[in-house]
Amino acid sequence: MAVLADELTGWQAGSARFRAFAELHHAKIRKKLRTAADPEAILDVRVELEAACLLLADPRIELAFEAYGSGKRGPDLTVSYRTRPAFNLEVTRLRRIPAATDFEAPLLAKLRQLPPSLPNALLVALGGESAAALDVAGAARGLRSRADAKEAGLFEREGFRGPRDFYDRYLRLGGVITWCEGSPGAARTELWINRSARIPLPERALRATIRCLETGQ
């Protein structure tokens, strides 16, 4: 916790926009850190805040934090671009880079948090050297195949009412950005686009977001 406190202090000292964000959402941030059950949970919160800090380096981007309600099943961030709401961004952290089949359960869990009103993207923070190591496309294909095969038990165990409910949520997902924090340059991010999404991600806002994650500006 002390290390994170030092990082937060540094991020706020280096960015007036992030300092204003942290002050505005002080109560939410404090609650998330206070209720984090273990060091891994604290690192999960850290990734959300680091992403927010990087995105706010672009003056065209504004962020809302837990706009759908603190503690509710909704995306972590809502990204506005040039003052217009652009998309929701749900942030998650993986402790290791899994095989495509192992990524199916985390992907299903995040699909349940996506509202229908705006485009939605998932930001997956990874350890490792290359964001391309996570086979998001393979996980998506696997889930669609299992839904087509009507494997209702799989989806019901993950909180869906069945394959049809899965597809309804899957169509809310515009894309997945995989992000390796420690890998500078092009290998730092990888983008998978869901061509079936009902509302596609806005291209300019998405490009600006990825640029911030890759370069920190």
Banded pLDDT at 95 (limits 50, 70, 90): confident
Residue-level pLDDT at 183: 55
Residue-level pLDDT at 106: 94
Handedness of CA 176, 182, 187, 188 (dihedral sign): positive
Bigger pLDDT: 69 or 30? 30
Rounded distance, CA 164 to CA 148, Å? 9
Nearest to 166 by CA among 105, 89, 92, 93: 105
- The one-letter code for the residue type at 95 is R
> pTM for this one?
0.93
Residue-level pLDDT at 100: 84
Task: State whether residue 153 is helix, strand or coil.
Answer: helix
Banded pLDDT at 205 (limits 50, 70, 90): very high
CB 50 within 8 A of CB 11: yes
Q: What is the mean pLDDT of residues 72-77?
A: 86
Q: Please enumerate, as own/partner, the contacts of 40-43 that have beta carbons within 8 Å and a separation of 24 or more.
A: 40/95, 42/1, 42/4, 43/93
> Quick one: how many helices (H) and strands (E) in the chain?
9, 6
Residue-level pLDDT at 184: 55
